[in-house]
Structure 1
């Protein structure tokens, strides 16, 4: 079972999942700046933050400790999602979305702490070690090939995301609403695209002509833009579009990658063209 700092914490055990989640007993909430400096705020603390505070926290982690590892801008895509949540009033503390998001941010924070050698405790978040490995490889110059970089990034976020889902559902007994579930499909599709760049390019070559012939011609720069973790615009636009789709359920709950490709890619390609 993962180790957890116990001083001043109430430990909640989720035996089914084998999770240990520290919950502050009575400590005053720390500011985004304090969390970014200490790199030891738990998912439970982050869950209590408003989305505007989480956005500030992530930006401070990047401009501060992560910059020492050559990663001052490697989570701009997550910034886009947080900005969308902030502006729409989504992901209130204690909700399914909030717990999943908090685990993602915790994994990043602890990954930075591990990579800097400031701690050996991942807070029970499997994404922590993944992010530490990603940052170490990035700092060493081992992630210069785009598809290699994107796969490492995606695998780290996927680990933290799955942990967040387990915390939300198995510790807190929450289930996503229908809209949250359908919105979550977009984030899964995005991470899949990062892990499978050659497949995405092949699919756009095969199906692109049915969506927009220009997609076939510009598929490489389009995928470069869509999956650039240093850009916030694609994830912000993707979140807006996916949430609108999630409310209407136009894909009828489809889980097929091809269905998601047809649902999301045309509008994202339109946004890409306005930026190029």
Structure 2
């Protein structure tokens, strides 16, 4: 009996370390090469700089992802905005909490693209992989034409990949977020919450997700447009200045937080609105 327990524990430890713990010899790979092969591990992405990750994500968006969902704008503009934020604030060095979480998100997108395009079934142990694959396939098949359905599927996929990155940082590597990182993470949680709770009623007066139908009629639509890096990039700046997030407080807290972002991002939103009507 004791031998069986010991063997089970050893197996669990092996699985945990094989899921995502980077080896000491993990090396950063060429971001364009990773976007082509779609087989870079979380450890290899963790070794990348933020500018390299930005190049990696854009190459995946414009290359293999576009082959799956042709006719759609790039799907991860907001994540590009967050990576640009990290680079500007010198956050996310290899081996940090931010780096592992971000690498988990990018790995999930990478393997999701690979699975959706029929280039293998390996998730690399990242639950976000299958969620992103399903999202891309449903988008391709016309199942996510309404913003409410689209935004929920997108947010659920990113949440799964994000949770995996948090697991790798905290449970596999024993790294907790700093106070600044925790505040920023609360912003990302709020963003996904806003996507998931977008009322379907807004679909009646809001655009679809295809090019030519991306007119933003409301601030909520503009703020949660996953193809637009501006709200994410500048919203993250505000997140560093906010002392407290209270999503557990329910919809009232969420609305108050959205109001704070509306004030902070108003110039960019109004400029976009004027550009559309001119």
TM-score by length of 2: 0.80
Q: What is the DSSP-based 3-state SS (H/G/I as helix, E as strand, rest coil) of the residue aligned with 2:218?
A: helix
Cα offset, 1:200, TM superposition: 11
Give the aligned length. Answer: 243
Contact 1:74 1:230 in 2 (8 A): yes
The alpha carbon displacement at 1:61 in A equals 0.4
- Tell me the equivalent position of 2:180: 179
Aligned positions of 1:1-276 closer than 5 A: 14=13, 20-21=19-20, 23=22, 26=25, 28-70=27-69, 73-198=74-199, 221-245=218-242, 249=243, 251=244, 254-255=246-247, 256=249, 257-276=254-273
Contact 1:193/1:200 (<8 A) preserved? no
TM superposition shift of 1:270: 4.1
Gap change, CA 1:158 and 1:86, over 3 Å in 2: same
* Aligned CA distance change for structure 1 residues 88 and 148 (closer, same or farther; 3 Å): same
2-structure distance, mates of 1:194, 1:17: 31
Flag structure 2 segments of 5+ consecutive residues without an equivalent: 1-10, 203-215, 274-278
Shift of the alpha carbon at 1:269?
Answer: 3.3
Residue 26 (structure 1) shift:
4.1
TM-score normalised to structure 1 length: 0.81
- For 2:234 and 2:266, the matched residues in 1 are separated by 11
Structure 2 contact 26–43 (Cα < 8 Å) conserved? no
**What is the alpha-carbon root mean square deviation over aligned residues?**
2.5
Give the strand-richer structure, 1 or 2.
1
